[in-house]
Amino acid sequence: MNETDERDIRHLLATYTDLWVRHEMDAWGALFTEDADFITHRGIWWRSRRENVAGHKDVPDAVLAQKGDFTQEVLSIRSVAPDVALVHTAWNWPGHRPRPSAAPEDRRGFVTLLLVRQPDGAWRIRAAHNTRENGLDDFSAR
């Protein structure tokens, strides 16, 4: 992995985070390949860019209003083959309320991404798996 590739991948992931926070899901989806797989923190497996974007658009307004506190940090970028990179990020969402009546909770997690270089030289996300650090489901009794 050369410095240019790493810089380009970090830029893609900064854009990913910015678009996700602003909930610009069509532009966010363009960062993925058409056949991208995305596994959510709740175990839902979307098998295309279209499914991924549609699923991420389906979010209650109360949750959308909280996205401004979300952050994501790149932890590692590794080349696994020519034009293929494995990336791990850590995300943090303090004070998240899954429902307006729920107590706020500080959520953290990790995203594992497989990126591939496209024929035009751009990196795109081919697969992503989001995992919550604390492993609690939104509907857990407390």
Residue 43 lies in a domain: yes
Domain assignment of residue 74, yes or no: yes
Host domain of residue 87: 3-132
pLDDT of res. 142: 46
Q: Is 75 among the domain residues? A: yes
Number of domain units in the chain:
1
pTM above 0.75, yes or no: yes
pLDDT tens digits for 39-60? 999 899 999 999 999 999 998 8
**Amino acid letter for position 123:** W
Task: Tell me how far apart the alpha carbons of residues 139 and 142 are, in angstroms, rounded to a whole number.
Answer: 9
What distance in Å separates the CA atoms of residue 61 and residue 58, rounded to the nearest whole number? 9
101: DSSP letter:
T
Distance CA 112, CA 66 (A): 23
In a domain? residue 87: yes
Is the pLDDT reported for residue 134 higher than 80? Answer: no
The enclosing domain of 17 has a CATH number of 3.10.450.50
pLDDT tens, residue by residue, 81-108: 999 999 999 999 999 988 888 899 999 9
For the chain, the C-alpha Rg in angstroms (whole number) is 15
Instruction: Please report whether residue 138 resides in a domain.
Output: no
Give yes or no for a contact between 107 and 93, defined as CB atoms under 8 angstroms apart. yes
